[in-house]
Amino acid sequence: MQQTRVVQLEEGKENGTMVRTGQYKSFPPKLLLLLGFFLAFAVTVFIISVSTIKYSGIQSVVTTVTSSFVPCREEESSGLSRWIQPPMVLMHNMSDEELLWRASLWPRRKEYPFNRVPKIAFMFLTKGPLPLASLWERFLKGHKGLYSVYIHPHPSFTAKFPVNSVFHERQIPSQVAEWGRMSMCDAEKRLLANALLDISNERFVLVSESCIPLFNFTTIYSYLIKSKHSFMGAFDDLGPFGRGRYSQNMEPEVPITKWRKGSQWFEINRDLAATIVEDTLYYPKFKEFCRPACYVDEHYFPTMLTIEKPAVLANRSLTWVDWSRGGPHPATFGRSDITEKFFERIFDGRNCPYNDGNTSMCYLFARKFAPSTLEPLLHIAHKVLGF
């Protein structure tokens, strides 16, 4: 088929030349001579090329030679793959400003010109090691291509995981993050921005080293991908720990009626992640006027998104946590807490709105679990958590 196409093309060329020679008949003899040479040259080239193509032996040689150049050409011509391949190496030397700018470039067309399989980005905001890593490994096993992992530890920490681990080389450039301070939001933004660089990431889950998944991957994946809403805790707390932390200096960008409070452990879609990363309007207000005892990581994102994208918010968090023991921090569970009865408490049949109906699955993740829970968790996971 290729042969005929080449021949047709050559014929077309020759027809063109012949028409032109016809027109040139009345031209001076010198020019005519020149044209004659040209015609002879063209015919020779035509004959040689046709016979070369027909001669299959040479054709295969030509193909081999061409194919050896292909990888080089692909790199240079950089087709669409350049834009849809996630970064091979997560470590980079972009400053935050550069990274946030880079991450806020996104397509404005809704349809993708390729088969985009949406992924869930699990973003681990940690102090250092991941003591529950093997539970997450088991959870993610067999679902390659449907998730990606990012780790933001204390900058002095270097995560070392074996090549076959889902955590292998998934650490991003990090900086110190302090609880209740803007540096915590900066770290979360850094995670979002790095995860946005992979165009297939569609849902972004913030977790810590003490978080665990409560269902198998298939269940969590479909819950998140099918959800019309994003899960950001956001409620209007009229008391001293809610509106009491508001500063009128934030007006007019942030009116008190839109002031919200919520847990920092969010789950948001790509559009909201982009909204957070691109923000330069609310950031300075929160940085300047929400300082302890205004804990900015509880207010910045919930308030900002309530102003910008309220309809997409579920206003609830998917991460279960136990405040019943009182104090400034939620309960941390240890080895002896991990029983079937304990999980019954978490799964306790309440109803939560989900899309246009209700679901008994109010939480997909839970915290805080001490390193000592790993062994009993691995033991009980198959029966209680389904993986």
The rounded distance, in Å, linking the Cα atoms of 66 and 216 is: 48
Closest separation in Å from C-beta 206 to ligand NAG:
19
| Closest CA relative to residue 96, chosen from 182, 206, 181, 158 | 182
The rounded distance, in Å, linking the Cα atoms of 221 and 276 is: 23
Q: What is the DSSP letter of 164?
A: T
Q: Name the residue nearer to ligand NAG (CB basis): 138 or 270.
A: 138
Closest separation in Å from C-beta 218 to ligand NAG:
4
Closest separation in Å from C-beta 357 to ligand NAG:
4
The rounded distance, in Å, linking the Cα atoms of 255 and 153 is: 34
3 state SS of 358:
strand
Closest separation in Å from C-beta 92 to ligand NAG:
8
Whether the upstream peptide bond of residue 42 has omega within 30° of 0, thus cis, is no
Closest separation in Å from C-beta 386 to ligand NAG:
4
Q: Where are the alpha helices (DSSP H) in the chain?
A: 2-23, 29-54, 56-77, 81-84, 96-103, 133-140, 182-196, 217-226, 270-278, 283-289, 300-308, 340-347, 374-384
Amino acid letter, 143: H
Closest separation in Å from C-beta 261 to ligand NAG:
12
The residues, ordered by sequence, that sit 6+ positions from 269 with a Cβ below 8 Å of its Cβ are 202, 203, 204, 230, 312
Closest separation in Å from C-beta 143 to ligand NAG:
9
Q: Name the residue nearer to ligand NAG (CB basis): 44 or 95.
A: 95
The rounded distance, in Å, linking the Cα atoms of 2 and 4 is: 6
List of residues contacting ligand NAG (CB under 6 A): 93, 95, 216, 218-219, 229, 306, 310-311, 313-315, 351, 353, 357-358, 386
Q: Name the residue nearer to ligand NAG (CB basis): 126 or 269.
A: 269
Closest separation in Å from C-beta 235 to ligand NAG:
9
Strands (E), 159-214: 201-208, 212-213
Closest separation in Å from C-beta 109 to ligand NAG:
27
Q: Name the residue nearer to ligand NAG (CB basis): 210 or 319.
A: 319
β partners of residue 230: 313
Closest separation in Å from C-beta 312 to ligand NAG:
8
Q: Name the residue nearer to ligand NAG (CB basis): 23 or 93.
A: 93
β partners of residue 128: none
β partners of residue 201: 119
Q: Name the residue nearer to ligand NAG (CB basis): 130 or 273.
A: 273
Q: Name the residue nearer to ligand NAG (CB basis): 107 or 255.
A: 255
Is the C-alpha dihedral spanning 82, 85, 86, 89 positive or negative? negative
Distances (CA, A) of 126 to 133, 150, 179, 206, 221: 12, 10, 12, 10, 23
| Pairing between β-strand 119-125 and β-strand 201-208 as defined by DSSP bridges | parallel
Q: Name the residue nearer to ligand NAG (CB basis): 209 or 221.
A: 221
Q: Name the residue nearer to ligand NAG (CB basis): 116 or 382.
A: 382
CB atoms within 10 A of CB 355: 11
